Amino acid sequence: MNTLDTTLHAGEHGHHGPAKGIGRWLFTTNHKDIGTLYLWFSLLMFFTGGCMALMIRAELFQPGLQLVEPGFFNQMTTMHGLIMVFGAVMPAFVGLANWMVPMMIGAPDMALPRMNNWSFWILPFAFAMMISTLFMDGGAPNFGWTFYAPLSTTYAPPSVTYFIFAIHMMGISSIMGAINIIATILNLRVPGMTMMKLPLFCWTWLITAFLLIAVMPVLAGVVTMMLMDIHFGTSFFNAAGGGDPVLFQHVFWFFGHPEVYIMILPAFGIISQIIPTFARKRLFGYASMVYATASIAILSFLVWAHHMFTVGIPLAGELFFMFATMLIAVPTGVKVFNWVATMFRGSMTFETPMLFALAFVVLFTIGGFSGLMLAIAPVDFQYHDTYFVVAHFHYVLVPGAVFAIMAGAYYWLPKWTGHMLDERMGKLHFWLSFIGVNITFFPMHFIGLAGMPRRIPDYALQFADFNMVASIGAFIFGLSQLVFLWNVIACVRGGEKAAARSWEGAEGLEWEVPSPAPYHTFATPPKLPESQR
Amino acid sequence: MVRITTITIGSGLGLALFAASAQAEWTVNLTPGVTDVSRSVFDLHMTIFWICVAIALVVFGVMFWSIFHHRKSRGAEAHNFHENTVVEVIWTIIPLLILVGMAVPATATLVKMYDSSEAELDVQITGFQWKWRYDYLDHNLDFFSNLSTPREQISNEADKQEHYLLEVDRHLVLPVDTKIRFLLTSNDVIHSWWVPALAVKKDAIPGFINEAWTVIDEPGIYRGQCAELCGQDHGFMPIVIEAVSRDDFQQWLADARADKQRVTAAAERTWTLDELMQQGEQVYLRACAACHLPTGEGVPGAFPALKGSAIATGEVAAHIDIVLNGKSGTAMQAFRDQLSASELAAVITYERNAWGNSLGEAVSPAQISRLLEPTTGEAEQ
Ligand code: HEM
Ligand SMILES: [Cu+2]
Ligand SMILES: [Cu+2]
């Protein structure tokens, strides 16, 4: 227990604890504080975006317009999508990285702590600006989270300029966060932890960080081109001025497809930490997991036009993007097989984090199957921009990314708070979420195949039944997230004392430090535990 | 089979529902459609679906088997094996082969879909916010097709009819057994023209002309919708195709052209203010109210109010100009090719005399007709 001593030892030597009051949070450079800020911010955004989703689902409960005007409905879908993607999922992963990466690699903090403070504190301003557009003349952005030109340029409400600046700020924040994670992982690993001993959560985040650095500037570029078209008389996307509206889509999706992997690779990492713990067995194929993650990341740059099968790209282009997309199924399959092989002949228990991880494996894979179907270009003509797509991306994002985040939160909460979760409440949250998510999103496959386009506030009568089911499910799912909030608060406030190694099968440096983790960990490098040597 | 599984799942969920919404038959799968291509697409969809189901059964089977048998509570001990090259190569190669098996028929279908050569009939389809224009290129006939569901049904003041939101004032009439080529473009933002029964979905993009084609096998009515978010009334621009026999199609073409002449002729007679107001209200509700609102009050920041507006209560020439020619770079379209002279005159008259705008003067159809004459260029490039 050498490592434990060093931490405690370091603590005795006058290392200061957290500052007092609001200043602690405003000026903090401590990775744990910043991680906490990110996580709470993400939860707030999750509830904000969730309320918008419920507003959408309430309007779609029955055919006819009941609650909102079509224009406002479009603002809701747009803001819901943007807030969930940029406000809920991405910051949650950065928060988890902040908390866990230094502890997993035995580093005292992130490599660039001041920049870390900045990359968080930009976010509340960016989102305040974006949400304020709801109260402006002409309303908030109403062109979908994909903001296709010219709907988002020539035909946009005036608030689009604020939207553009908000996107710029989010991009800056993400890039800074990514640089920090790369610098930390590459430079601050404890001696002896070679790259091929890096915990998988760190590996997937490292690769994600490179994706972020590669594509966030592309997003910044595309919104800047919009800004120029709107205010400075250029015609990048304006056909009447010799521009090209399809160019917008190419640039957007060159960012957008890697973006969806940015939202799923860290989730793969979390799941790859949790399943071995509760199966009490090493991950079946560590090396192949690393290579699979890297191949997914590389392929993700070559498939963007699968979102554009109907824009009229030439046959050869269509075929190329179809084949490249299908190819992604191979490394993704490798990941799923690895998780299953890890469970096989293990010694499994089913605490809350494991339940979420298992649900992730099953439901993410279902989303993967519908993804494979969407990759088949000729059939995608029938699926594209219907509720089938809405079902697909919610299966990968909600029981995919979001369940992984919740699994991670439940897994590491004892380390953060020093208290074990009330398992009964954890299981309640799990089962309500699991049932709710499926009632919400499974019927969307049916209404999509039956022909209901996405982003519509009202629909033909043959879609009525399943829309009603989906709306009921959405309210079950949405309300059950209050149980999550309750669980987190309860766990912060008290509960059974957590041991340093809070879960029986847990391996890794983060489980060598006491729970709750002291404000400063690893002031001197720890020794690698036996299992990682 | 798919019907059976999906229906069992579906009805399990559906039992909880009220009878009120059981008005129309529900579907849970793609339509096989009425063309050769749509049937290949459907077959491809089903093939890939079943392959996915098979893979899912194997993967989830092993997973649940482990969850059941290898649990600590049953005394299972962990067997710490890991990394097995043979297994890993197998589970990389087998999926690859399955994918190749999928790619072959998919490629064949796609190649077929891209061959729009030797079409017998060309129809140009132009997306507008929020309606479609159909132009039978070699037959000197074009018209707009608008949603015809009454507003009262949408706002729940009247019972919804069977084809709620999927009905239009003028069908796109097409002959069966004829290779038809669609040329798609847009006047404003991007739209997407989708008719599931034909398995045709293609974006209508300003500045581009996209191609798609079909050969319809069976006469009938086929409905579809716009599939690309195009603004506020994206959900309210359906497509209705009426497929008829080749002879009926010729007859219909002749009738439609004759109708068009009658409408043009109507502009020449004198209209009373009342007549214009009456027709104007109808045109306004159909073509303008989506933006300027039925009350003429507009939406601040997006669509100007016409009630009391400087243009609608000022110089008539400026008013006529903006309605005929639109204002480029804004959502206000040019209506000169969208409405007939009498409709234009009526709607302008209406705007100048409704909601408390009370100029008392009528704009005559003949006056508009004269302005329309010199047009040569079409609205789109
Ligand atoms: C409470 C759970 C959720 C519900 C009930 C829900 C529901 C919906 C609905 C009804 C739509 C609109 C579909 C349409 O009209 O086209 C939508 C769109 C979307 N959702 Fe969710 N959603 C939920 C959670 C999430 C999460 C967690 C994410 C992301 C991580 C997410 C990402 C998106 C995106 C990107 C869109 C597309 C927005 C657009 O069309 O521009 N959703 N969601
Ligand atoms: Cu993609
Ligand atoms: Cu549309």
The C-alpha atoms of residue A409 and residue A492 are separated, in whole angstroms, by 12
Residue A14, pLDDT above cutoff 90? no
**Position A7 pLDDT exceeds 80:** no
| Predicted local confidence at residue B2, as pLDDT | 40
Q: Give contacts of B188 with chain A, Cβ < 8 Å.
A: 150, 155
Asked whether the beta carbons of residue A377 and residue B78 sit closer than 8 angstroms, the reply is no
Q: Say if residue B12's pLDDT is above 70.
A: no
Is residue A15 included in any domain, yes or no?
A: no
pLDDT for B213-259, tens place per residue? 999 999 999 999 999 999 999 999 999 999 999 999 999 999 998 88
Nearest residue to A348 (alpha-carbon basis) of B78, B79, B60, B64: B78
Tell me which H or E stretch contains B173: strand B172-175
- Check whether the bond before A453 is cis (ω within 30° of 0): no
Name the minimum distance, in Å, from the CA of A82 to any CA of chain B. Answer: 16
Residue nearest to atom 12 of ligand 1 (CA): A77
- Rounded to 5 degrees, what are φ and ψ at A159? -65, -5
The fraction of chain A above a pLDDT of 90, given in percent, is 91
pLDDT at B130 over 60: yes
Sheet-wide strand order for B141-145: B141-145, B131-136, B121-128, B179-186, B210-215
Classify residue A39: in a domain, yes or no. no
**Cβ-Cβ contacts under 8 Å for A65 (sequence gap 6 or more):** A59, A457, A458, B154, B155, B156
In this prediction, residue A525 carries a pLDDT of 87
Judged by a CB distance cut-off of 8 A, whether residue A183 touches chain B is: no
Residue A172 counted as domain residue: yes
pTM score:
0.88
pLDDT at B153: 92
Check pocket membership of A453 for ligand 1, CB cut-off 6 A. no
Query: Would you state the structure tokens that stand for residue A174, as one six-digit string?
Result: 């993400």
Pairing status of strand B172-175 against strand B121-128 = unpaired
Enter the DSSP assignment of A522.
Answer: -
Q: What is the mean pLDDT of residues A271-281?
A: 95
- A243, exposed or middle or buried, with CB in 10 Å at 0-12, 13-18, 19+? buried
CA distance to B127, B129, B167, B226, B356, per residue, from B163 (Å): 22, 21, 6, 16, 36
State mean pLDDT over A208-220: 97
* Mean pLDDT in residue range A462-485: 96
For the residues B307-316, what does the mean pLDDT come to? Answer: 87
Average pLDDT across chain B, whole number: 86
Whether A47 maps to a domain, the answer reads no
- ipTM confidence score: 0.91
pLDDT in tens, A291-349: 999 999 999 999 999 999 999 999 999 999 999 999 999 999 999 999 999 999 999 99
A371 CB near ligand 1 (under 6 Å): no
| Reported confidence tier of residue B8, pLDDT bands at 50, 70, 90 | very low
User: Can you give the pLDDT at residue B3?
Assistant: 43
- Which of B26, B188, B224 is opposite residue A462, by nearest beta carbon? B26
Give the number of A-B residue pairs with CB atoms closer than 8 Å.
327
Check B231 against A285: CB less than 8 A apart. Answer: no
Q: Do residues A377 and A240 touch, judged by C-beta distance below 8 A? A: no
Which range (A88-97, B10-19, B74-83) has the least confidence?
Answer: B10-19
Give me the residue from A154, A284, A373 closest to B49, CB to CB: A373
Site from A381, A387, A388, A455 to mutate, B interface, most B CB atoms within 10 angstroms: A381
User: What pLDDT score does B342 carry?
Assistant: 86
Q: Which helix (H) or strand (E) holds A162?
A: helix A160-187
Pick from A212, A218, A192: which is nearest to A260 by CA?
Answer: A212
What is the residue-wise DSSP string for A442-456?
HHHHHHHHTTPBSS-
Q: Which of B197, B176, B198, B194 is nearest to B184 (CA)?
A: B194
Best residue among A148, A393, A394 to mutate for probing ligand 1, ranked by most atoms within 8 Å of CB: A394
The residue whose CB lies within 8 Å of the most ligand 1 atoms, and thus the one to mutate among A364, A390, A471, is: A390
Q: Compute, in angstroms, the gap from residue B189 CA to the centroid of ligand 1.
A: 23
Strands B238-244 vs B172-175: parallel, antiparallel or unpaired? parallel
Q: In terms of Cα–Cα distance, which of B252, B167, B172 is closest to B214? A: B172
**Domain B121-263, architecture per CATH:** Sandwich (2.60)
Q: How confident is the model at residue A16 (pLDDT cuts 50, 70, 90)?
A: low
CATH number (domain holding residue A142): 1.20.210.10
Hunting for tokens 């933006």 — which residue is that?
Answer: B291
pLDDT on residue A13: 44
**Residues B17-69: tens digit of each pLDDT:** 333 333 345 578 999 999 999 999 999 999 999 999 999 999 999 999 999 99
- Residue B256 tokens, joined: 């439609």
pLDDT of amino acid B374: 57
Which residues, at least 6 apart from A427, have a Cβ–Cβ distance to it below 8 Å?
A: A352, A355
Q: Average pLDDT over chain A, rounded to whole?
A: 93
Q: Which chain B residues touch A455 with a CB distance below 8 Å? A: 229, 234-235
Tokens found for residue B147 = 């949603």
Q: Match 């599939």 to its residue by tokens.
A: B227
**Amino acid identity, residue A119?**
S
Kindly tell me if the per-residue pLDDT of A512 is higher than 70: yes
Contacts of A262 (CB under 8 A, 6+ apart): A90, A208, A211, A212, A215
Checking DSSP bridges between strand B179-186 and strand B191-195, what pairing results, if any?
unpaired
Using the beta-carbon criterion (under 8 Å), do A312 and B202 form an inter-chain contact? yes
DSSP 8-state symbol, A189: P
Tell me which chain B residue has its CA closest to the CA of residue A443.
B10
How far off is chain B from A45, nearest CA to CA, in Å?
Answer: 25
Single out the residue of A153, A130, A31 nearest to residue A75, CA to CA. Answer: A130
Per the structure, the complete domain to which residue A131 belongs is given by 2-9+56-532
CATH 1.10.760.10: does it fit domain B269-380?
A: yes
Which pair of tokens denotes residue A108? Answer: 């005292």
pLDDT score recorded for residue A335: 95
Chain B neighbours among A 95-154 (CB < 8 Å)? Answer: 136-139, 142-144, 148, 150-151, 154
Q: What is the pLDDT of residues A192-209, one digit of tens each?
A: 899 999 999 999 999 999
Structural domains in chain A (count): 1
Q: How far is CA A409 from CA A262, A356, A485, in A?
A: 18, 10, 11
Instruction: Kindly tell me if the per-residue pLDDT of A22 is higher than 90.
Output: no
- Report if residue A24 sits inside a domain: no
Can you tell me whether residue A497 is helix, strand or coil? strand
Instruction: Report residue A437's pLDDT band, with 50, 70 and 90 as the boundaries.
Output: very high
State the Cα–Cα distance between residues B225 and B160, nearest whole angstrom.
18
Q: Does A5 have pLDDT greater than 60?
A: no
Q: What separation in angstroms does the CA of B127 have from each of A474, B138, B241?
A: 34, 20, 16
For B76, the closest of A310, A333, A347 (CB atoms) is: A347
Query: Ligand nearest A53 Cα, by number?
Result: 1
Structure tokens, A387: 């509720």
Asked if residue A517 belongs to a domain, the reply is yes
Q: Which of A74, A312, A379 has the CB atom closest to B208's CB atom?
A: A312
Helix (H, G, I), strand (E, B) or coil at B162: coil
Pairing of strands B200-204, B191-195: antiparallel
Measured CA to CA in angstroms, residue A185 lies from A100, A111, A176, A364 at distances of: 11, 8, 14, 28
Q: What DSSP line would sit under B94-157, residue for residue?
A: HHHHHHHHHHHHHHHHHHHHT---S-SEEEEEEEETTEEEEEEGGGTEEEEE-B-S-HHHHTTS
Average the pLDDT over A378-407 and give the result.
Answer: 96
Is A98 among the domain residues? yes
Note the residue count of chain A: 533
Beta-bridge mates of residue B192: B203
- Are A376 and B106 in contact (CB < 8 Å)? yes
Please check whether residue A19 lies inside any domain of the structure.
no
What pLDDT band is residue B376 in, cutting at 50, 70 and 90? very low
**A16: annotated active-site residue:** no
pLDDT band at B275 (very low <50, low <70, confident <90, very high): confident
Percent of chain A at pLDDT exceeding 70: 96
How far, in whole angstroms, is CA B147 from its chain's centroid? Answer: 10
Q: Annotated catalytic residue: which of A42, A119, A152, A173? A: A173
**Position in ligand 1 atom list of the atom nearest CA A470:** 5
